[in-house]
Amino acid sequence: MDFCETLRSLNIEFTQNEPLSEHTTFKIGGPCDYFVKPTDLDQVIAVVNAAKENRIPYFILGNGSNLLVSDLGIEGAVISLAGFCGVTADGNTLTVLSGTKLSALCSFALEQSLGGMQYFWGIPGTVGGAVYMNAGAYGGEIKDILISVNALIDGEIKQLSAKECELSYRDSIFKRNGGIILSANFGLRPMQKEQIRAEMDTLIARRKDKQPLEFPSAGSTFKRPKDNFAGTLIEECGLKGYSVGGAMVSPKHAGFIVNTGGATASDVRRLIEYVKETVFMQKSVNLESEIIFVGR
């Protein structure tokens, strides 16, 4: 049974030649051969097995943030986990499916009067993506609250402790072992709902004030260099507002490259390289991209 027949037989929704610009926060990216939307664990496993059996490469997609997809798209199947979502509570522990948006998880924790998630309010990603890159902001990181992760590794579902996930700055073991994050367990702490809400309001206000949320982007473009800030270095090099095609270094925050309208992945990559070269020439600092590049 070929890949499409398998998906139809299992009632798994999919489309072909789906433009990935519709599924990334950058609003950039060519088509994929198959865009598949499993909604439960059995479907996720079935899609992965079907892809392997038919020798079709696959890519796991969350909310499409922190990602730059090639103008030529992605070969094979993109498995979107956007419909693989849900949160359950057991005391102070939350079990969260990997496709759950961080915004939904933050709201759930607020309603449960559980603190620890408010740092991630406003980050446009999913739980799976947040664990994959150890997302963090304003003094909080996923590793601070993570208990364990269930992941599909080499065809088996395995539970990894937070320590086994090897979380560090924008890194985890999942970048190396090819594992698919299925769910995560977080340990939070009781906290007054009013205090949580106040902190969330403060953090979102800071984001709106300092970040170019009015334009599509992939979030922070560069990792934080040692003892410095990428945005500061880029601004000191006079690159605020510098553009290549439809891609521009944000005049609001130089650590962001934004899509001003019609930007291509090629525009973004050329701009990133120019910024890196300029900063190295003027500051002797090698900037490292935080954005993940995927596609043909």
The rounded distance, in Å, linking the Cα atoms of 249 and 260 is 10
In this prediction, residue 140 carries a pLDDT of: 84
CATH 3.20.20.70 for domain 212-294, yes or no, is: no
In this prediction, residue 274 carries a pLDDT of: 98
* Residue 220 annotated among the catalytic residues of the structure: yes
Q: Which sequence spans correspond to the domains of the chain?
A: 3-80, 87-195, 212-294
Go through 74-90 and write b for each residue having 16 or more CB atoms within 10 A of its CB, e for each that does not: bebbbbbbbebbebeee
Range 50-57, long-range pairs (CB < 8 A, 24+ positions)? 50/3, 50/6, 50/7, 51/3, 51/76, 51/77, 51/79, 53/6, 54/2, 54/3, 54/6, 56/3
Phi, psi of 29 (to 5 degrees): 140, 135
* Residue 197 annotated among the catalytic residues of the structure: no
CATH 3.40.50.2300 for domain 3-80, yes or no, is: no
Give, for all 296 residues of the chain, the pLDDT tens digit: 799 999 999 999 999 999 999 999 999 999 999 999 999 999 999 999 999 999 999 999 999 999 999 999 999 999 999 999 999 999 999 999 999 999 999 999 999 999 999 999 999 999 999 999 999 888 789 999 999 999 999 889 999 999 999 999 999 999 999 899 999 999 999 999 999 999 999 999 999 999 999 999 999 999 999 999 999 999 999 999 999 999 999 999 999 999 999 999 999 999 999 999 999 999 999 999 999 999 99
At the topology level, CATH places domain 87-195 in: 3.30.465
* Residue 170 annotated among the catalytic residues of the structure: yes
Residue 244, classified by CB atoms within 10 Å of its CB into exposed (0-12), middle (13-18) or buried (19+), is buried
Is residue 171 a contact partner of residue 291, using CB atoms and an 8 Å limit? no
Is residue 69 a contact partner of residue 28, using CB atoms and an 8 Å limit? yes
Check 170, 172, 183, 250 and give the catalytic one.
170
Is residue 259 a contact partner of residue 35, using CB atoms and an 8 Å limit? no
Of the candidates 20, 224, 21, the one whose C-alpha atom is nearest the C-alpha of residue 137 is 224
In this prediction, residue 45 carries a pLDDT of: 95
In this prediction, residue 136 carries a pLDDT of: 85
Range 251-256, long-range pairs (CB < 8 A, 24+ positions)? 251/212, 252/210, 252/211, 252/212, 253/210, 253/211, 253/212, 254/230, 255/220, 255/221, 255/222, 255/229, 255/230, 255/231, 256/211, 256/212, 256/217, 256/219, 256/220, 256/221, 256/231
Check 141, 148, 250, 290 and give the catalytic one.
290
Check 65, 70, 220, 289 and give the catalytic one.
220
Is residue 150 a contact partner of residue 158, using CB atoms and an 8 Å limit? yes
